[in-house]
């Protein structure tokens, strides 16, 4: 049963060492993420599942204790998902959609960048409230994302979700995807849906448009929509800005 969810952006720039001199520009986003994790803590979950985009082949489950690094972004910063030692017992690949879990879950596999950012946020806020599992999600179709969310929330235990992903990357001329006039409208719809726990709208997000706008959060948000079915969770939007031309959203469901 899903008892709470937090939605956070996943740019490595959230890590101050990566952002370097630009770090203060995302202080408000970091603070909103910390507040969102506080909502998860208050829900007293039995298990925290972190879901994030993994378009670079890093899809599949990541057990508690899996390491990650930001060396690829020019800084020697290492993180670990939760506090456990790496093992293969946390999330049984047979329990979730096979299309998401074809990748091996061996301890030697490092976290994809979205889950590494999540691990940094959890360490930064001192998360000790529940065991942590990670799941890297490819840009699957909506039906499979929703089914995956249902499976995550199905066990008879209190599950919280930390959902990582960015909105469009086309909000300005200097954005990674250049300026696209459709981006602001897409982001506004996503922000409203995430901020009001509007499952129907999240399920119907335009996949092709999301891909064109480089919105990495679309698939994880639809996983959240599946997990949130048959709950009475209410949403709250904590942050909605587009620094560097990329939409960053922070929301909570509780």
- Domains in the chain: boundaries: 2-253
Check residue 90 and give its pLDDT. 42
Query: What is the spatial distance between Cα 138 and Cα 103, in angstroms, rounded to a whole number?
Result: 11
Query: What is the spatial distance between Cα 117 and Cα 72, in angstroms, rounded to a whole number?
Result: 13
Torsion region of 204: left, alpha or beta (phi above 0 gives left; psi -120 to 50 gives alpha): alpha
Check residue 130 and give its pLDDT. 97
Q: Give me the residues paired with residue 135 across strands.
A: 51, 61
**Strand, coil or helix: what is 189?**
helix
Query: What is the spatial distance between Cα 236 and Cα 157, in angstroms, rounded to a whole number?
Result: 24
Check residue 109 and give its pLDDT. 86
Check residue 101 and give its pLDDT. 44
Check residue 86 and give its pLDDT. 45
pLDDT per residue as tens, the chain (254 positions): 999 999 999 999 999 999 998 889 999 999 999 999 999 999 999 999 999 999 777 889 999 999 999 999 999 999 999 985 544 444 444 444 444 444 444 456 899 999 999 999 999 999 999 999 999 999 899 999 999 999 999 988 999 999 999 999 999 999 999 999 999 999 999 999 999 999 999 999 999 999 999 999 999 999 999 999 999 999 999 999 999 999 999 999 99
| Residues 6+ positions from 184 with CB-CB distance below 8 Å | 171
**Strand, coil or helix: what is 15?**
coil
CB 217 within 8 A of CB 167: yes
Query: What is the spatial distance between Cα 48 and Cα 51, in angstroms, rounded to a whole number?
Result: 10
> What CATH superfamily is the domain 2-253?
LigB-like (3.40.830.10)
Check residue 53 and give its pLDDT. 97
Check residue 58 and give its pLDDT. 82
Check residue 9 and give its pLDDT. 98
Q: Identify the residue whose tokens are 């506004």.
A: 188
């Amino acid at each position: 049963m899903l008892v709470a969810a937090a939605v956070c952006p996943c740019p490595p720039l959230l890590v101050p060492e990566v952002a370097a001199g630009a770090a203060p520009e995302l202080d408000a986003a970091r603070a909103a993420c910390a507040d969102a994790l506080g909502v998860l803590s208050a829900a007293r979950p039995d298990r925290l599942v972190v879901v994030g985009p993994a378009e670079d082949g890093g899809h599949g489950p990541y057990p508690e204790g899996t390491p990650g690094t930001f060396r690829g972004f020019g800084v020697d910063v290492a993180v670990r998902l939760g506090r456990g030692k790496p093992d293969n017992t946390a999330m049984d690949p047979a329990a979730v959609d096979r299309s998401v879990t074809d990748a091996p879950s061996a301890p030697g596999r490092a976290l994809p960048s979205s889950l590494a950012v999540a691990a940094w946020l959890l360490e930064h806020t001192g998360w000790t409230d529940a065991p942590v599992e990670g799941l890297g999600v490819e840009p699957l179709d909506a039906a499979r994302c929703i089914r995956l969310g249902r499976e995550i929330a199905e066990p008879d235990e209190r599950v919280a979700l930390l959902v990582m992903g960015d909105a469009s990357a086309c909000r300005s001329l200097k954005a990674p995807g250049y300026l696209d006039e459709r981006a602001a409208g897409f982001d506004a719809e996503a922000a409203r849906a995430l901020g009001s726990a509007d499952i129907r709208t999240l399920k119907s997000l335009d996949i092709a448009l999301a891909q064109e706008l480089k919105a990495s959060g679309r698939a994880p948000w639809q996983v959240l929509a599946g997990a949130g079915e048959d709950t009475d969770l209410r949403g709250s939007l904590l942050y909605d800005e587009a620094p560097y031309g990329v939409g960053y959203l922070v929301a909570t469901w509780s």
